[in-house]
Structures are given as C-alpha cells and as structure tokens.
Structure 1
Amino acid sequence: MEWLKKLAALLVLIGALNWGAIGLFEFNVVTEIFGSATTVTKVLYSLIGLSGVWLLLSKYKS
C-alpha cells in the first residue's frame, strides 16, 4: 500500500503545481499536454481529485 500512497502524493503534487501555474501564469499544463476536455484530461483530473480525497481520508484513518 505504500506505493499507492506515493502515487497519490505524486498526483496531488502534479495537481497543485498545475493549479499554481493556472493562478500565477494563466497556463494550464495538463490541457497544453493532453488537450482540453479530452478523455485523458478528464481521467487525469479525476485521478488527481480521488488521490487528494484518499490522502485526506488515510491521514485521519491512521
């Protein structure tokens, strides 16, 4: 399960950096790489969101 926690942390970090780029530079790295409203983009955003929820819940579970 440790690998899952590391993967979730990596995805949350990617999401945080992307939101920082959007806020500071109005530049969305994910949509620049994968396109806007593509299936890959939607899946990636969903995985990032689920990773954040999973990390939050696992923090209070332990």
Structure 2
Amino acid sequence: MDWLKKLASLLVIIGALNWGLVGLFGFNLVTEIFGSASTLTKVVYTLVGVSGLWMAVDLFKK
C-alpha cells in the first residue's frame, strides 16, 4: 500500500500545482493537455479528488 500513498501524494501535488497555475495566471495545464471537456480530463480531476480524500483520511487516521 506504500505505492498507493506515493501515487496519491503525487496526484495531490499535481492538483495543487495546477490550481496554483489557475490562481496566478489563469492557466489550466490539465485542460491544455487533455482538452476542456474530454473524458481524460474528467478522469484526471477525479483521480486528484480521490487522492485528496485518501490523503485526508490518512492524515486524520493517525
């Protein structure tokens, strides 16, 4: 399960960096790469969201 925590951490970092780009420059890297309404974009956002929940549960579990 250690690999799952590392993957979740990586996805949370990617999400945070993307939101930083949106906030600072109005630039959404995920939609630039995959398109604004593509299924792959929705998958990336879903994986980032699930990873955030995973990390939050892990944080408060200890």
Indicate the TM-score class for this superposition, using the shorter chain for normalisation: over 0.9
- Give the structure 2 partner of residue 55 of structure 1: 55
Q: Please, which runs of 5 or more residues in structure 1 have no aligned partner?
A: none
C-alpha offsets along residues 1-60 of structure 1, whole Å, 9 cap, x if unaligned? 110000000000000000000000000000000000110000100000000000000111
Over the aligned positions, Cα root-mean-square deviation in angstroms equals 0.6
The residue identity in structure 1 corresponding to 2:46 is S
**TM-score normalised by the chain length of structure 2:** 0.96
**Corresponding pairs, count:** 62
Please identify runs of 4+ aligned residues in structure 1 that moved more than 2 A. none
**TM-score normalised by the chain length of structure 1:** 0.96
- Give the structure 2 partner of residue 14 of structure 1: 14
The residue identity in structure 2 corresponding to 1:44 is V
